[in-house]
Amino acid sequence: MSDTKKIPVGLVMGSDSDLEIMGKAADVLDELGVGYEMRIISAHREPDEFFEYAKEANERYKIIIAGAGKAAHLPGMTAALFDGPVIGIPMKTSDLGGVDSLYSIVQMPSGIPVATVAINGGMNAGLLAVRMLAMEDHDLLARMKKFIADQKESVVKKDEKLQEVGHRGY
Ligand code: RP5
């Protein structure tokens, strides 16, 4: 598949329990008009399917956002097989609070990078993918700048309200 025919972003998660956070990345992509495909593929529970997905991903996607929790090998193994940028989302976990996922994703060996966002950082993962794609897409860059300007405006409005009603009335 030629580069222009690729789906801009592949979203992959280890379990449906990751869906809520992965959805935050998808929401940003939807809002900024970026195409994506979302899959649930477990590197541990279905390794053969995972290998097939990650190898085919080279023909299919420009960027992959991979989210996983606990011993979160999915993003790192995706980066081992996929040639493009991989953004990892460490999922918050009930036993270790997501530090398990964070360490598993961020501590990659030299040579195989995963751009790791915060624990449960779905929105920033989506925005980081947008920033990467916007380097070669001026229209997307303009939409991204408007998104950032709108964010700023919402903080300005919050401060105006604080000044108006005070912290007790807020
Ligand atoms: C990982 O294990 C998934 O990414 C998920 O975050 C975690 C727990 O999975 P489930 O037991 O909820 O399916 O593979």
Per-position DSSP letters for 22-54, written without gaps between them: HHHHHHHHHHTT--EEEEE--TTT-HHHHHHHH
Entry pTM: 0.94
Helix (DSSP H) and strand (DSSP E) numbers for the chain:
6, 5
> Ligand 1: which atom is nearest the Cα of residue 42?
14
Kindly report the CATH number that applies to the domain delimited by 3-136. Answer: 3.40.50.1970
For residue 3, what pLDDT is reported?
Answer: 76
Centre of ligand 1 to C-alpha 94, Å, is 11
**Is residue 1 scored above 70 in pLDDT?**
no
In this structure, the residues whose C-beta lies within 6 A of any atom of ligand 1 are: 13-15, 17-18, 42, 68-70, 91
Using an 8 Å Cβ cutoff, are 78 and 112 in contact?
Answer: no
DSSP 73: -
> Ligand 1: which atom is nearest the Cα of residue 68?
4
DSSP 6: S
Nearest CA to ligand 1 atom 3: 14
Closest by CA to 34, choosing from 120, 116, 136, is 136
Closest by CA to 123, choosing from 32, 25, 37, is 25
pLDDT digits (tens, 9 = 90+) for 41-91: 999 999 999 999 998 999 999 999 999 999 999 999 999 999 999 999 999
Tokens of 144: 């991204």
Centre of ligand 1 to C-alpha 96, Å, is 13
**Extents of the domains making up the chain:** 3-136, 141-170
pLDDT digits (tens, 9 = 90+) for 125-161: 999 999 999 999 999 999 999 999 999 999 999 999 9
Centre of ligand 1 to C-alpha 93, Å, is 9
Give the whole-number percent of the chain exceeding pLDDT 90: 96
Distance CA 14, CA 68 (A): 5
How many CA atoms within 13 Å lie on the side-chain side of 139? 3
Strand order in 36-40's β-sheet?
Answer: 36-40, 7-13, 61-68, 86-90, 115-116
